[in-house]
């Protein structure tokens, strides 16, 4: 592994040629024999530091159309929180299902699951039939794994019946020294970013792009008023940037004055601190309080000068969904990609049908949307929102931070990278300097 690292650090792609693929590598795993360890516990009390381990695991055999990547950095996504607490299902059930598909997918069904759905790094080896990428290429990987043998996915790759999220529904993910991906997951790494910055946007950037910008999601246009829940979090920090870039007017909801400050730093002017306002959309576990929806809607109108919301960027789910449907404008759209606070939503359907509102389900992004979102990172039009990084062996602490909502933006993990600040190409230094303040907006807040 040291030889690989030395070759990457030399900055010379040719130095990677002829390097031996190691027989094993260190990766962050959950173990199958521990998948029931949290049974009976409250979600919040399930501690990822008990379930996530850094284990030495065998390097998988490289199949046709695949690539093995030396991972310099990765980042924590909420899906690793779900995997680590075995909710809503143990991801071993997903690996077993994938394993039944064919001979190649069988490799993924193992008694351990190497997690992680983001990476930046360097291609170490490619399988038969790969011509677009070669050993030594500096890359990031999007997390869409598809087979495309059925026609449903041929227009929008997210519609493939065999659609999976790499590192969540497949094995050999990015929180590790090596990762196995399908070669069509690879995309160029932005030359002006460090390894840890480049690994941060991936999953959430692509998801926010589809959910808000793409015609498959909110199809946002200039002038739209966009309500962004969790505007300083993983998804929200990209949704806010897309709204501002696209000439829309984001109304950013956050949970503390510090987070409100970050939203303002991104350029948002309309910010609601939900903890200061003390919204209680649920009177008790079973009953919502429409007066609180009204109070929230009134606050939005106060900020917007009377406008209601064209698009709600939803992901908290049960706790906020009733309010989200209520505050949406006649004919407006609620786009949802998650249910962090609970997936059985309740809303008053009269507000939806009588006012011709629409709810759109959105999930990650297709190949094209992922490339479009990555292109904007490369052009310095969307910036990483990395707040801090952890070494690989402290990944579980990083995951706990995200589980308990103690983080801002994205939390990075250094995999092979021996420290922060490496990986910027010399020719991109000047470009980087021009964007440095924006790149560092979330650092150490
Ligand atoms: N379908 C997909 O493709 C996809 C992709 C990415 C993520 N997701 C899912 O989306 C969710 C968010 O992911 P993320 O990466 O953005 O996570 P994150 O970094 O934790 O950010 C989520 C933000 O939502 C806010 N929030 C949390 N609970 C809330 C509640 N009860 N009411 C209102 N706001 C709440 C928090 O902000 P404040 O406390 O500041 O308000 C938090 O910062 C997760 O469930 C994740 O699994 C789905």
| Residue 272: strand pairing partners | 253
Q: What is the pLDDT of residue 12?
A: 87
pLDDT tens per residue across span 384-412:
999 999 999 999 999 999 999 999 999 99
For ligand 1, say whether the CB of 92 is within 6 Å of any of its atoms.
no
For ligand 1, say whether the CB of 255 is within 6 Å of any of its atoms.
yes
Q: Whose CA is nearest to atom 36 of ligand 1?
A: 230
Q: Indicate which atom in ligand 1 lies nearest the CA of residue 339.
A: 45
pTM of the model: 0.97
By the 8 A CB rule, do 123 and 180 touch?
no
Q: What is the pLDDT of residue 30?
A: 98
For ligand 1, say whether the CB of 320 is within 6 Å of any of its atoms.
yes
- What is the 74 CA–ligand 1 centroid distance (Å)? 19
For ligand 1, say whether the CB of 233 is within 6 Å of any of its atoms.
yes
Q: Whose CA is nearest to atom 35 of ligand 1?
A: 316
Distance of alpha carbon 220 from alpha carbon 247, whole angstroms: 9
For ligand 1, say whether the CB of 261 is within 6 Å of any of its atoms.
no
By the 8 A CB rule, do 231 and 254 touch?
yes
By the 8 A CB rule, do 187 and 205 touch?
no
pLDDT tens per residue across span 93-106:
999 999 999 999 99
By the 8 A CB rule, do 127 and 138 touch?
no
- Three-state DSSP at 364 gives coil
Q: What is the pLDDT of residue 112?
A: 98
pLDDT tens per residue across span 284-312:
999 999 999 999 999 999 999 999 999 99
By the 8 A CB rule, do 271 and 254 touch?
yes
Q: Whose CA is nearest to atom 47 of ligand 1?
A: 78
Mutation to probe ligand 1, out of 201, 230, 337 (largest number of atoms < 8 A from CB): 230
Mutation to probe ligand 1, out of 77, 78, 273, 327 (largest number of atoms < 8 A from CB): 78
Distance of alpha carbon 288 from alpha carbon 296, whole angstroms: 13
Percentage of the residues of the chain whose pLDDT score is greater than 90: 98
Helix, strand counts (H, E) of the chain: 15, 18
Distance of alpha carbon 307 from alpha carbon 224, whole angstroms: 10
Mutation to probe ligand 1, out of 255, 277, 278 (largest number of atoms < 8 A from CB): 255
Q: Burial of 265 by CB count in 10 Å (0-12 exposed, 13-18 middle, 19+ buried)?
A: middle
For ligand 1, say whether the CB of 317 is within 6 Å of any of its atoms.
no
- What is the 402 CA–ligand 1 centroid distance (Å)? 9
For ligand 1, say whether the CB of 395 is within 6 Å of any of its atoms.
no
For ligand 1, say whether the CB of 385 is within 6 Å of any of its atoms.
no
**Number of C-beta neighbours around residue 87 at 10 A:** 12
Q: Indicate which atom in ligand 1 lies nearest the CA of residue 318.
A: 31
Distance of alpha carbon 104 from alpha carbon 61, whole angstroms: 9
Q: What is the DSSP string of 382-424?
A: S---EEEEEEGGGHHHHHHHHHTT---SEEEEESS-SSTT---
| Residue 282: strand pairing partners | 288
Q: What is the pLDDT of residue 61?
A: 96
Q: What is the band of 18 on the pLDDT scale with cuts at 50, 70, 90?
A: confident
pLDDT tens per residue across span 235-257:
999 999 999 999 999 999 999 99
pLDDT tens per residue across span 116-174:
999 999 999 999 999 999 999 999 999 999 999 999 999 999 999 999 999 999 999 99
Tell me the CB-side half-sphere exposure of residue 433, using CA atoms within 13 A.
5
- What is the 409 CA–ligand 1 centroid distance (Å)? 10
pLDDT tens per residue across span 170-222:
999 999 999 999 999 999 999 999 999 999 999 999 999 999 999 999 999 99
């Amino acid at each position: 592994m040291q030889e690989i690292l030395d070759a990457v650090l030399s900055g010379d792609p040719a130095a990677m040629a002829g390097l031996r693929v190691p027989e094993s590598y260190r990766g962050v795993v959950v173990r199958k024999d521990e998948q029931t360890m949290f049974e009976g516990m409250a979600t919040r009390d399930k501690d990822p530091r008990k379930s996530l381990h850094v284990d030495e695991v065998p390097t998988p055999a490289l199949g046709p159309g695949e690539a093995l990547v030396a991972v310099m950095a990765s980042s924590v996504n909420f899906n690793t929180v779900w995997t680590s607490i075995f909710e809503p299902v143990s991801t071993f059930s997903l690996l077993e299902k994938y394993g039944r598909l064919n001979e190649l997918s069988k490799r993924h069904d193992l008694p351990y699951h190497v997690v992680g759905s983001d990476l930046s790094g360097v291609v170490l080896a490619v399988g038969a039939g790969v011509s677009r990428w070669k050993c030594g290429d500096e890359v990031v990987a999007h997390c869409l794994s598809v087979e495309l043998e059925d026609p449903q996915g041929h227009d929008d790759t997210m519609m493939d019946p065999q659609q999976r999220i790499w590192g969540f529904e497949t094995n050999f993910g990015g929180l590790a020294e090596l990762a196995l991906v399908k070669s069509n997951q690879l995309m160029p790494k932005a030359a002006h970013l460090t390894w840890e910055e480049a690994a941060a946007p991936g999953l959430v950037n692509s998801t926010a792009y589809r959910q808000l910008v793409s015609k498959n999601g909110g199809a946002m246009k200039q002038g739209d008023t966009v309500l962004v829940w969790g505007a300083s979090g993983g998804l929200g920090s990209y949704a806010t940037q897309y709204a501002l870039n696209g000439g829309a007017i984001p109304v950013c909801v956050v949970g503390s004055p510090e987070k409100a400050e970050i939203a303002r730093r991104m350029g948002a002017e309309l910010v609601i601190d939900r903890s200061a306002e003390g919204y209680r959309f649920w009177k008790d576990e079973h009953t919502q309080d429409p007066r609180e929806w009204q109070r929230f809607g009134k606050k939005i109108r106060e900020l917007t000068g009377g406008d209601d919301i064209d698009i709600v960027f939803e992901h908290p789910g049960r706790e906020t969904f009733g309010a989200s449907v209520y505050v949406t404008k006649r004919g407006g759209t609620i786009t949802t990609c998650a249910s962090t606070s609970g997936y059985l939503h309740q809303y008053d359907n009269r507000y939806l049908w009588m006012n011709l509102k629409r709810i759109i389900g959105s999930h990650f992004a297709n190949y094209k949307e992922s490339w479009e979102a990555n292109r904007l990172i490369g052009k310095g039009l969307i910036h990483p929102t990395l707040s801090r990084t952890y070494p690989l062996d402290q990944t579980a602490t990083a995951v706990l931070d995200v589980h308990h909502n103690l983080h801002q933006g994205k939390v990075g993990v250094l995999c092979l990278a021996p420290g922060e600040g490496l990986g910027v190409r010399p020719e991109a230094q000047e470009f980087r300097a021009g964007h440095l303040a924006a790149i560092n907006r979330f650092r150490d807040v």
